Amino acid sequence: MFKYNDDNFIFDVSWTSISTHSKFDELFKKTWIEKEEKNLFRYKYKSQNVVRLPGKYQFIKVLNIDRATKRRTPASFHKVLQPFDDSLFNFTKINHEEYLFKLESPYNSCENSSDDILAINSSPLGDFHSLILPKISSKLPQSINNYSLHLSLQILLLSASPAMRIGYNSLCAYASVNHLHLHFYYLPYKMYLETCEVEYLSGSCYIIKDYPGKGFVFFLCSIDKILDLVRIF
């Protein structure tokens, strides 16, 4: 179990100190490597297959044949919102050896934080690719909510690395399991979106001005604003 509070949150990270690790980074990477040594993954991710494309946006291209050929067969979904179906594969059915550790903090201790679990992604698509499993035994469908967003922001702030990335994809957007989860991994490349020009919209929300895809940017500058940011969604 990893216990944390406000004192563990890190707001200032830099690409000039990419090798800096927090207590969370150290425990997470150490435990992840131990799982790899136990052969709990379907394959070993090869970071040498990453290529930065030329051009203004400096996109990253990854060749990962193993994920296409060795991953668990994804379930088929026809709607973005579907009820949880216990007869299908879900994360309560994986080998518990794939769990990294549980999370506990003052934010969620009253809501059974021991049910918030980090687990390896047995078919990794990046360095240390893992899963955030909020309230795993509640068997929530793959639909992001305030609780899972709040938990994910906390995990992001626990890392001292600018390479930490957290992502979410819904059903019908390549999510392969209808059980609430988010992805996180370390991508050791500075991305265009980290410094792109934005236009103020309202509150803490800005609009990305120059990018092939439309999007919003939200600024979080202090821990006392985290709940306000989560409530926007």
Mean pLDDT of 156-165: 96
DSSP strand pairing (99-104 vs 2-3): parallel
Q: Residue 153's CB: how many other CB atoms inside 10 A?
A: 19
pLDDT per residue as tens digits for the range 8-32: 999 999 998 888 899 999 999 999 9
How much is the pTM? 0.93
pLDDT per residue as tens digits for the range 184-215: 999 999 999 999 999 999 988 999 999 999 99
Who's near 128: CB < 8 A, 6+ residues apart? Answer: 28, 29, 32, 185, 186
pLDDT of 17: 81
Residue 109 banded pLDDT, cuts 50, 70, 90: low
Cross-strand partners of 120: 130
Q: Is the pLDDT of residue 151 over 60?
A: yes
In whole angstroms, give the CA distance from residue 123 to residue 211. Answer: 30
In whole angstroms, give the CA distance from residue 35 to residue 27. Answer: 12
How far is residue 75 CA from its own chain's centroid?
21
Mean pLDDT of 150-156: 95
Mean pLDDT of 146-164: 95
pLDDT of 133: 98
* Radius of gyration of the chain measured on its C-alpha atoms: 18
In whole angstroms, give the CA distance from residue 144 to residue 180. Answer: 7
Q: Is the pLDDT of residue 39 over 60?
A: yes
pLDDT per residue as tens digits for the range 129-145: 999 999 999 999 999 99
Q: Which of 129, 179, 181, 183 is catalytic?
A: 181
Cβ burial of 36 (10 Å; 0-12, 13-18, 19+) is middle
**Alpha-helical regions (H) of the chain:** 23-37, 65-70, 146-158, 226-231
Q: How far apart are the first and last CA of the chain?
A: 29
All domains in the chain, ordered by first residue:
2-43+74-189 (3.30.428), 196-233 (no CATH)
Q: Which two tokens stand for residue 97?
A: 């050896």
> Measured between alpha carbons, how far is residue 173 from residues 12, 15, 51, 81, 168 in Å?
32, 31, 24, 12, 10
pLDDT per residue as tens digits for the range 44-92: 988 777 899 999 999 999 889 998 899 988 888 999 999 999 999 999 9
Is 181 tagged catalytic?
yes
In whole angstroms, give the CA distance from residue 141 to residue 88. Answer: 12
Residue 113 banded pLDDT, cuts 50, 70, 90: very low
Q: In what order do the strands lie in the sheet with 216-218?
A: 198-202, 205-208, 216-218
Residue 231 banded pLDDT, cuts 50, 70, 90: confident
Q: Is the pLDDT of residue 155 over 50?
A: yes
Mean pLDDT of 116-123: 97
In whole angstroms, give the CA distance from residue 73 to residue 89. Answer: 10
6-10, 109-113, 157-161, 207-211: segment of lowest average pLDDT:
109-113
Residue 37 banded pLDDT, cuts 50, 70, 90: very high
